[in-house]
Amino acid sequence: MEPRPRPVAVAVNALLCVLSLCVSAAEAENVTTYDAKNFGAKGNGVDDDTKALVAAWKKACGTPGTVTLVIPPGTYYIGPAHFHGPCEALAITFFLQGVLMAATDLKRFGNDWIEFGWVTNLTVVGQNGGVIDGQGAASWPFNKCPVRKDCKVLPTSVMFLNNQNTVVRDITSVNSKFFHIALLHNNNMRMSNLRIHAPENSPNTDGIHIERNTGVIISDSRIGTGDDCISIGQGNHNIYIARVHCGPGHGMSVGSLGRYVGEGDVTSIHVTDMTFQGTMNGVRMKTWENSPTKSLAARILFENMVMKDVQTPIIIDQKYCPYYNCEHRYVSGVTIEDIKFKNIKGTSTLPVAVLLRCGVPCRGVVLQNVDLIYNGKAGTLSHCENANATYVGYQHPEPCA
């Protein structure tokens, strides 16, 4: 192995402090560092580096103590790669200095492309770019999910699954085949300084999808895709999102909820200081009708939002269905209560800037200090169904009658 460069040790020490695992300078010298190229990775954008990167991960994961796996500058062409624990390492850092470039043959993939799973004290950090390129353009024509319920789901670029105490920062994700990043069954996760990009017409390229997690923080990031910038799915608790710029895309959603059997509740969500620019929606809650089981979405706060040319900035939609033929037999089984929209201002590109469409009456919906102006000639409107909303402070458009 080549001698470990000192800058890597310094950077790793700083990362461990972010994880509340700060180590002394002497202890930092004991960090074990592996270079993926020493395991056969070429990084030339042509040779398949999947086996080399997985082998390097297994070595790093199996090493006791504090460990860093460096992916040096270069372009690493890889197929499905699972970076799994449990690890012998006390803390492990995946240090991406180059570009990970996805294979384009869909036959190689299952549900995801890169998967970090069953790891404790994991850090995924980028430097000098740190790009994850899903090469999704070749796959988007095969995505029928926007129009068919029984569609084949394309692979997510990066899945975080069953991890404890995770930091993800300074990473760029471009042109995912499906979701860019998905979080499933994680506890205590911090994500910051992410750059996520895909064309506005790319289908289902959600920036970050969150499902069945506890204790997630997402901050100081820019996301522009063909779908939701951030989507908070079922079974989440204690999610905090701050200072995220969203656009283009469909906005930021809690949902969709209520489609499948056994969905978990969504509680204690705080979204603050976001800017939406040119998006289809701003902040939105969406639930399906005809829910097979009941669930709850409660204690959710959206505050300090700026809307710039957003079609519909504030939405509760309990009749969500993106397909042409939708059944309307039963109201949504998702109970919505204690939802607050506070300090939301800006411009809409449709007359109805506030849409509150509840199934069974929503409980505890509050709008406080809302100032939204339609860019067209007519005035700005609100539309409500079974919302029973409470209005506090300045309101434009006028509250529903």
Provide the annotated active-site residues: 250
Tell me the three-class secondary structure of the chain, residue by residue: CCCCCHHHHHHHHHHHHHCCCCCCHHHHCCCEEEEHHHHCCCCEEEEECHHHHHHHHHHHHCCCEEEEEEECCCEEEECCEEEECCCCEEEEEEEECCEEEECCCHHHCCCEEEEEECCEEEEEEECCCCEEECCHHHCHHHCCCCCCCCCCCCCEEEEEECCEEEEEECCEEECCCCCCEEEECCEEEEEECCEEECCCCCCCCCCEEEECCEEEEEEEEEEECCCEEEEECCCCEEEEEEEEEECCCCEEEEEEECCCCCCCCEEEEEEECCEEECCCEEEEEEEECCCCCCEEEEEEEEEEEEEEEECEEEEEEEEECCCCCCCCCCCCCEEEEEEEEEEEEEEECCCEEEEEECCCCCEEEEEEEEEEEECCCCCCEEEEECCCCEEEEEEECCCCC
